[in-house]
Amino acid sequence: MSGRLRMQKEEDGAAEQTPRQAPPLTKPAVPSYQPAGKEMENEISRDSELYSQSAVRRRSRKFRSRLAYCLCALSTVIAMVPLVLILFYVIYQGAGDLNLSFLTSLPKPVGESGGGMGNAIAGSLILIGIAAVIGVPLGVLAGTQLAEYRNPRLSCVVRLLSDILSGVPSIIVGIFVYTLLVLTFKQFSAIAGGVALGILMLPTVARTTEEMMRMVPDTLREASLALGIPRWRTITSVIIKTAGGGIMTGVMLATARIAGETAPLLFTALGSRTWPTGLDKPIASLPVQIYQFAISPFDEWHRQAWAGSLVLVLIVLFLSIGSKIFFGRKMKRAS
Amino acid sequence: MAGYIATNNLGASFGGVQAIENITFEIPANKVTAIIGPSGCGKSTFLRCLTRMHELVPGARISGEVVWDGKNIYASEMDATEVRRGIGMVFQKPNPFPLMSVADNVSAGLRLAAGRMSKARIAEIVERSLKLAALWDEVRNKLHKPGGSLSGGQQQRLCIARALAVQPDVILMDEPCSALDPASTQKIEDTIDKLKKSYTFVIVTHNMQQAARVSDFSGFMLSQEMGEPGRMIEYGPTNKIFTTPERKETENYITGRFG
């Protein structure tokens, strides 16, 4: 384009030197209604107009680009504000009461100072453990079925159901487990709480597993199968190994999510003021204990609820950041 | 002989579209057979049918027979993994396992498909396979580096070593050099030449010079029209195919008049 423009200008320059001999070469380029003599001036003025216009346009384009960037950056900052505020407020309120004895001792009756949420922390860890034992294998296997054994009809149904399940409010899952286990065995229990949390984990783990396995290129599946490696070995040793980092991240994020669930535990694990005594007995958990302490009328308990919140937030943060670091290292090894 | 393969009226389709049809062909043992032909004539599909890889594609159908070691590999009592162990395959794009080390890549087939083996035995087979694939000298100090860290040409030879390690009778190669530079191509062709005493090779290639250089027998495939299934037009000793082909289509293709 610019080359043609330059050539035209050179031709115009030649025309300037000998204006009387209108060069036949430029003639076809001139609109027929224009007198040949004015052609050159028009060319030039039109050019300069073109350039000045484009400078304006360029400035406005740059402005719009900067505006779009600013909007994006602003939205990011606004989205971060609640997170930062929550974090700082929880630390501000909770850090004062957080000490070793808070982490290791039982709650004291009203009126006595001190005491802690050791039982709730232990209970939460047990509940998360039961949930993981149920949710992770089932979720990973279901995800494997979706990604590897591409049975279109079954996959379609499973995917739809898992999407619905992930959208079901957690309290409904709690009621379901209450009807299924608590009413049947006439007993609130750690198992019931763990099952409820495990059900909540399932769809997240299954879908992350599926997505991560789908990211493994088909050429690797073919490479493995072509060596005479059976399908199941290909999946366990090649596909899951390659997708492992991503699957682990999904599992950790799902765990972090259920660690803070309160509603499904209210009528499954119930809560307790003592150390966990058995999986078939009611068990304390951080979110439920925070809830109970926070709605109580006692200042002492409110402070304890804040400290418990801080512990819960730290557990969730640890899981999220841990999974990021883990996944990051895996990716580095892969590349 | 274990390396001998014959196809009988072999046909294959994807989701109702016939890719190849009516292919009756013989692959002699311990020779290099080249499959040539223009793009889209079904060369790769044909190759994948020889080791039951075509059936992995959703909607794939296969008709006819592939006889290997006296048995039809598509017979109901045949196990696909056993067929694939005996008839190995090297793909167009090098596909080493990215997270496995060079050594683990080579031994993957042994560790994951064969029975338990001592570490020393595995190390021995790894070394031998890498030597056969002419890669040992370049990677002997990087056996624990990930397979993905090698260059493209090295990765392809790693894939050849990986295929050799399970000790198949036949090795199928689907345009193994199309992503490689001339030096790497040369090394792979030398490897094939050296190994053909003990292995049967079938190599799909777009490169006519390569077919002429490495193969003993050649088959020319062609689909008469766009969308028509590919057929085996002519096959025979490479010399004859390249100098005095019987069919007009073969001559046109060889002399570069189309394709």
Q: Is residue A89 included in any domain, yes or no?
A: no
Q: Give the end of a domain, one of A71, A106, A123.
A: A71
Tokens of A67: 């505006």
Q: Is residue A93 included in any domain, yes or no?
A: no
Q: What percent of chain A has pLDDT over 70?
A: 81
The pLDDT value given to residue B259: 53
A175 and A231 housed in the same domain? yes
Distance CA B93, CA B152 (A): 9
* B5-97+169-254 has CATH 3.40.50.300 classification: yes
Find chain A residues with C-beta within 8 A of B98's C-beta: 220, 242, 334
The pLDDT value given to residue A49: 59
A51 vs B257, residue with greater confidence: B257
The pLDDT value given to residue A1: 40
Is the CB of A225 inside 8 Å of chain B's CB atoms? yes
A49 and A140 housed in the same domain? no
Average pLDDT over residues A222-251: 90
Q: Is residue A279 included in any domain, yes or no?
A: yes
Q: Is the pLDDT of residue B238 over 90?
A: yes
Find chain B residues with C-beta within 8 A of A237's C-beta: 108, 112
Any idea where the domains of chain B sit in the sequence? 5-97+169-254
What total number of domains does chain A contain? Answer: 2
A150:B58 CB<8 A: yes
Question: Which of B128, B191, B183 has the alpha carbon at shortest distance from B157?
Answer: B191
Average pLDDT over residues A71-85: 95
Continuous segment of H or E residues that includes residue B19: strand B17-27
pLDDT tens column, B153-174: 899 999 999 999 999 999 999 9
The pLDDT value given to residue A326: 74
Closest chain A residue by Cα to residue B82: A228
In angstroms, the first-to-last Cα distance of chain A is 42
Q: Is the pLDDT of residue B35 over 80?
A: yes
Q: Is residue A281 included in any domain, yes or no?
A: yes
B113:A222 CB<8 A: no
Residue in B81, B96, B146 closest to A228 by CB: B81
A228:B163 CB<8 A: no
Residue A16 is part of which domain span?
2-71
Find chain B residues with C-beta within 8 A of A220's C-beta: 95, 97-98
Q: Is residue A84 included in any domain, yes or no?
A: no
Distance CA A21, CA B102 (A): 77
Angle at B54 between CA B53 and CA B59, to 5 degrees: 135
A165 and A278 housed in the same domain? yes
CA torsion, ordered A142, A143, A148, A152, to nearest 10 deg: 70
Distance CA A311, CA A292 (A): 16
pLDDT tens column, A29-59: 444 455 555 555 555 555 555 566 677 788 8
Q: Is the pLDDT of residue A164 over 50?
A: yes
A249 and A311 housed in the same domain? yes
A35 and A152 housed in the same domain? no
Q: Is residue A25 included in any domain, yes or no?
A: yes
CATH of the domain at A120: 1.10.3720.10
Distance of CA A327 to the CA centre of its chain: 13
Continuous segment of H or E residues that includes residue B88: strand B87-90
Q: Is residue A194 included in any domain, yes or no?
A: yes
CA distance A252 to chain B (A): 22
Average pLDDT over residues A227-236: 92
A300 and A151 housed in the same domain? yes
Residues 161-190 of A with CB under 8 A from B: none
Is the CB of A335 inside 8 Å of chain B's CB atoms? yes
Average per-residue pLDDT for chain A: 84
The pLDDT value given to residue A323: 78
Average pLDDT over residues A155-177: 92
A305 and A248 housed in the same domain? yes
From residue A47, alpha-carbon distances to A8, A303, B48, B229 in Å are: 12, 75, 62, 58
Residues 30-69 of B with CB under 8 A from A: 51, 53, 56, 58
Is the CB of B176 inside 8 Å of chain A's CB atoms? no
The pLDDT value given to residue A121: 93
Q: Is the pLDDT of residue A140 over 80?
A: yes
Distance CA A324, CA A334 (A): 15
- Per-residue confidence band for B40, with pLDDT thresholds at 50, 70 and 90: confident
pLDDT tens column, B80-98: 999 999 999 999 999 999 8
User: What's the ipTM?
Assistant: 0.91
CA distance B244 to chain A (A): 36
Q: Is the pLDDT of residue B212 over 50?
A: yes
Q: Is residue A228 included in any domain, yes or no?
A: yes
A147 and A293 housed in the same domain? yes
Is the CB of A329 inside 8 Å of chain B's CB atoms? no
Find chain B residues with C-beta within 8 A of A221's C-beta: 56
pLDDT tens column, B128-149: 999 988 899 999 999 999 988 8
